[in-house]
Amino acid sequence: MKGQVAGGEGVEVAWELDAYYTNASVALPLDRRPVPEGGTLRELEVYRTLFRESLRPRILMFEASLYPAPAAGTWLKKHHPDVYDDFVIGEAGPNELNLIEGLTAGFQEPWAVSAFVGSEMTFTRDGDRARRSNRGYMGYLVSTGRKHIRDNVLIDDTWWELEWKLKGEREFRDEQLSWSFRVGVKNHGNPDIRDVAYVGFRRSNLDFRRPFLGFLNNSTIELVTEVARDDADFMRQEIIFGKKLPIRRWRIAMALDVGVIFEEDSKYSGALADPSIDEVTLVFRPNIDW
């Protein structure tokens, strides 16, 4: 569920409710130049235009985000460990397979606040109204928080990260396309968690006109690689692939993402060193898109 409210002088407030990513944002214009329109542009042309525009930032955005499912997973493991353990469904070599962990894996913090500065582009087609959720962005993002998640356990950690980011959503009647490319660094206040540099890619498409079995259509692909900032040692890898089953009559799609996350033990030391924690986590995320 998404919504937005327009304020005076071009200020916009927007929000989104989702089981994995819920957020609220305030966008402030930095100048009065017309916002580029990309509703008819090809995907690569959108990226090129946003890059050119990012050399002269036109928007400042503040956002608060919450990740409900991962936060709920940490709460369940802390307050009801017996119930959490009841969701163990098997083993894969030395790794224990827990359904709750698989449903909530991939998020390393329960919440964050951030500020973005850069360029934006609107996407309209056939007279559709441009919404805050129907736009693309490119620029720099600074985020921070006070907690870190490892194996569904909350750890005290005042962290911050700086990243260059290209993201956006194009939502039309028969097609939804979202993308995110990011390169950044993350610093942890907790000395037992290593600082990292990372690169990430995510692309998700829902097209009611295309067959379910198309590779790029009605599919989600997500890759994230982390290395240690001090010596570039490999720290973490996420590989996630998903499919969407469009139900055109109801204008919704059943979605399922599956994948694997590998994390080196050397990312944690001191009080957080725990060789018993699984290095490999299977990801299993059912959802509904509308």
Give the start-to-end residue ranges of the domains of the chain.
2-289
**Average of per-residue pLDDT across 191-210:** 93
Say whether pTM exceeds 0.85: yes
**Average of per-residue pLDDT across 109-131:** 82
Backbone dihedral angles phi then psi of residue 215, each to the nearest 5 degrees: -75, -55
More confident residue, 58 or 212: 58
At 256 the pLDDT is: 92
Tokens of 271: 């009080």
pLDDT band at 7 (very low <50, low <70, confident <90, very high): low
Average pLDDT of the chain to the nearest whole number? 88
**Average of per-residue pLDDT across 215-223:** 87
More confident residue, 9 or 123: 123
Lowest-confidence region among 7-11, 22-26, 268-272:
7-11
Backbone dihedral angles phi then psi of residue 50, each to the nearest 5 degrees: -65, -35
Could you count the other beta carbons within 10 Å of the beta carbon of residue 245?
13
In sign, the C-alpha dihedral spanning 133, 121, 179, 232 is negative
pLDDT band at 130 (very low <50, low <70, confident <90, very high): very low
Q: Which residues pair with 222 in a beta bridge?
A: 202, 240
For residue 2, is pLDDT > 70? no
- In this structure, which amino acid lies at residue 273? A
At 55 the pLDDT is: 79
* Closest alpha carbon to 65 in 16, 7, 117: 16
Helix (H) or strand (E) holding 45: helix 43-54
At 40 the pLDDT is: 78
